[in-house]
C-alpha cells in the first residue's frame, strides 16, 4: 500500500508542476470531503456516474475499507467483484445498509433529520 501511495503523490506533484496546483477553495472542499466522507448535496447525484478507477474509502469498526469502481454495477472489494455498493456495505456492517449512504455518496435519513 505504501508504494501505491508514494506513486500517487509523485504523479500528483508532476501534474501540479505541469498544470498548476488546486485553488485554495477547491483544496479545502476536497479536504472536507476526505475528513467527513460526505459529498456536497450538489455532487451526490453524480454518485451513480462514478468513473472506473474511483476509489471509495470508509472507516468502520476501526478498519479502513476500500472499494474500487470498475464500471457500472461493477465494484471490487478485497479482490472480490460485486454488482452493488449495498452488497459490500452489508458484508462490512453485517446488516442491510444503503451502499451509497455507507460510503458517503448520499445522505442517510438520520443525517437529513
What is the structure's pLDDT at 94? 93
What is the structure's pLDDT at 24? 82
How does DSSP assign 59-76, residue by residue? EETTEEEEEEEEETTEEE
What is the structure's pLDDT at 89? 93
What is the structure's pLDDT at 111? 44
CA 90 to chain centre: 17
Which segment of 3-12, 47-56, 81-90 scores lowest on mean pLDDT? 3-12
Which segment of 7-21, 27-41, 90-104 scores lowest on mean pLDDT? 27-41
What is the structure's pLDDT at 113? 39
pLDDT tens for residues 59-112? 999 999 999 999 888 899 999 999 988 999 999 999 988 888 888 887 555 544
Question: How far apart are alpha carbons 107 and 57 in whole angstroms?
Answer: 16
The answer to whether 106 and 44 have CB atoms below 8 angstroms apart is yes
Amino acid at each position: 500500500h505504501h508504494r501505491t501511495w508514494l506513486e500517487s503523490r509523485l504523479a500528483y506533484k508532476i501534474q501540479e508542476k505541469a498544470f498548476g496546483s488546486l485553488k485554495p477553495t477547491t483544496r479545502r472542499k476536497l479536504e472536507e470531503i476526505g475528513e467527513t466522507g460526505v459529498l456536497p448535496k450538489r455532487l451526490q447525484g453524480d454518485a451513480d456516474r462514478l468513473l472506473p478507477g474511483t476509489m471509495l474509502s470508509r472507516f468502520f469498526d476501526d478498519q479502513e475499507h476500500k472499494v474500487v469502481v470498475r464500471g457500472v454495477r461493477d465494484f471490487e472489494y478485497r479482490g472480490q467483484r460485486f454488482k452493488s455498493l449495498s452488497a459490500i456495505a452489508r458484508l462490512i456492517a453485517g446488516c442491510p445498509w444503503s451502499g451509497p449512504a455507507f460510503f458517503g455518496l448520499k445522505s442517510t435519513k438520520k443525517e437529513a433529520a
